[in-house]
Structure 1
């Protein structure tokens, strides 16, 4: 079974990724994910909806002290915010993404729960590719 990833992310970062302005998502700890994996972007509170997908180009483990120097222009946050987020971290993982696909309409949390039985986690969860297709169908205007 092919897996996809449902990634919970703050609304401003989800939109920046889908607009192509942010190509790297920084996480303190994150498992290795295969390149080419579909990443479903769940925009967290207050939006609480899936906005679209991207493709994972690669997962990069980086010393937290090196993130800004290597990828500062690709992560979509200020250096001070990055430092505050990574403070005390002994590792960091960069999710490099491409191929943004904004869905026609956001799929609200209530639809994820009631129609698909999906509960977004605080960070991420795995999905079957069939669940991604079902979620995308919910974003069509006639649903």
Structure 2
């Protein structure tokens, strides 16, 4: 999952408890491991988290859900990102952790995803082995 470094640090630091995404590459499911690719200037996979509850709905409905959940760590920039989307996902962040070292995608033969991608099982195993 591509993410701006400041938002990725909020996830890894436990301040951002939910991540908001437009629906682009299929559904993220509870239990999925989400690797955080920090965009420029970092340009590396820096950490990961496990997806908890995943809400899928139009953005205006997700905003109401987020209000009911309390302080989820989302702000105005997050909601601007999904404005105009037909559907978006509100993904609970569970067990965030930092990789042992930042991993450049070239090491893995991958390109930066536009938002998020589902890795093949072999690519996921390799990334997990290098990250942990």
Give the TM interval when normalised to the shorter protein.
Answer: 0.7 to 0.9
**Paired residues, what number?**
128
CA radius of gyration, larger in: 1
Q: Distance in 1 between matches of 2:130 and 2:78?
A: 34
For residues 21-69 of structure 1, give each alpha carbon's deviation from its aligned partner in whole angstroms, at most 9, with x where no partner exists.
1121111224223321111110111211111110011321123113333
Richer in strand (by share) = 1
What RMSD over aligned residues (CA atoms) do the two structures have, in Å? 2.2
Report the counterpart of residue 28 of structure 2 in structure 1. 33
Question: For 1:105 and 1:13, how far apart are their aligned partners in 2?
Answer: 18
Q: Choose from 75, 95, 98 the match for 1:99.
A: 95
- Unmatched tracts of structure 1, length 5 or more: 1-6
Provide the C-alpha distance between the structure 1 equivalents of 2:103 and 2:60, rounded to a whole number of angstroms.
37
C-alpha separation between the residues in 2 aligned to 1:34 and 1:78?
Answer: 23
Normalising by structure 2, what TM-score? 0.80
TM-score (norm 1): 0.75
